[in-house]
Amino acid sequence: MILENFSLPIWVYAYGSPSGKGEIRTLPEDFIVEETLAFEPSGNGEHVFLQIQKTGENTEYVARQLARFANVRQRDIGFAGMKDRHAITTQWFSVWLPKGDEPNWTEFATENMIVLHVTRHARKLKRGALANNRFSLTIRNWQGHKTKTIEQLTEIKNHGVANYYGSQRFGHGGQNVAKALAMFQGTKVGREQRSLYLSAARSFLFNHILATRIEQNSWQTGLNGDVFMLDGSRSCFACEIIDEDIRNRLTQNLLHATGALVGKGETRVSASAFEIEQKIIETYSELKTGLVAFGVESDRRALRVNVANLIWEFSNENTLKLHFNLPAGSYATALLRELISL
């Protein structure tokens, strides 16, 4: 890979090129996200769980403010997912306060942060502990081919969307990937930056694998040798030969082919699926070598994600509103990019 003038490619679209253009995040209320936890807090335990609505603030800033307000260490704060700054987001945080002495949480409120609910639980809130995220998005100054846009939305509703990592994963201009490579070549970075760069490198490889599978029209139908993931689950199984049962389950969106999240350990794929992944990994061998050297464990990610409860409306000729649910780890921008040029 070449560090100089590095830029992200335009990943292949799953449903043709975008059918329109428009503006997102013109106002914070144009991008609304609400977390749903994967469990119900018990009401008892050493960790205070806070549901907070924030506007124009990023997740780590709120976590720092909570630690200062509660007079605890930064590592005593937990949250399930990172949320966009330029949005109105409702998310959960946990604060370790084992002695039961709590501050008055209503005093934590600011113009941009409101505590909506307070309860307790026995364990710290961990990353990824979400059932899904509910999005309400407004695209302003929309221009395009309305009929084609509705056709694309219908395809997404019925068949899911390509589970790309969003551009925010890679930093401005994709520079987190270039910084990951520099780190692999010996540049010293802080602990927080190291995690960001490792994630960017692995996500870059996954997006390449997914783009290739879309080009070959196998991201939805699967290939011999694929590892499949059950919808709504992290459970996977390898499949050397696709039979009629597997085809039917793929058609019904009950199974999804997966792509490699590169690291140390076996990828589990074989046959045609292995050949595709191996070619891409060999092309960017410096990234794989670095990921393994830094001890990142290999994993799998679904190539497709179902978009639950998707509804849309043109409130006027130039405003398109979308409402939908995505599981934790999937990006609303992966859906938006199919519809408008971002």
Backbone φ/ψ region at 144: left (φ over 0), alpha (ψ -120 to 50), beta: left
Three-state DSSP at 276 gives helix
Q: Which helix (H) or strand (E) holds 337?
A: helix 332-339
Q: What 3-state class would DSSP assign to 205?
A: helix
Structure tokens at 277: 């992944």
Residue positions annotated with a catalytic role: 84
User: How many Å apart are CA 213 and CA 232, to the nearest integer?
Assistant: 21
Q: What is the maximum span of the chain, computed from C-alpha positions, in angstroms?
A: 60
User: What 3-state DSSP class applies to 240?
Assistant: coil
How deeply is 233 buried, as exposed, middle or buried, from its count of CB atoms within 10 A (0-12, 13-18, 19+)? Answer: exposed
User: What are the CA-CA distances from residue 38 to residues 29, 42, 92, 263, 334 (Å)?
Assistant: 25, 13, 11, 27, 22
Show the tokens assigned to 77. Answer: 């704060």
**CA distances for 229 relative to 84, 233, 308, angstroms:** 27, 7, 17
**End-to-end Cα spacing for the chain:** 25
Structure tokens at 221: 């139908």
- Tell me whether residue 7 is exposed, middle or buried, using C-beta atoms within 10 angstroms of its C-beta: 0 to 12, 13 to 18, 19 or more: exposed
The residue to which tokens 């849309």 are assigned: 312
3-state percent breakdown (helix, strand, coil) of the chain, nearest 5: 35, 30, 35
Q: Number of helices and strands (H, E) in the chain?
A: 8, 15
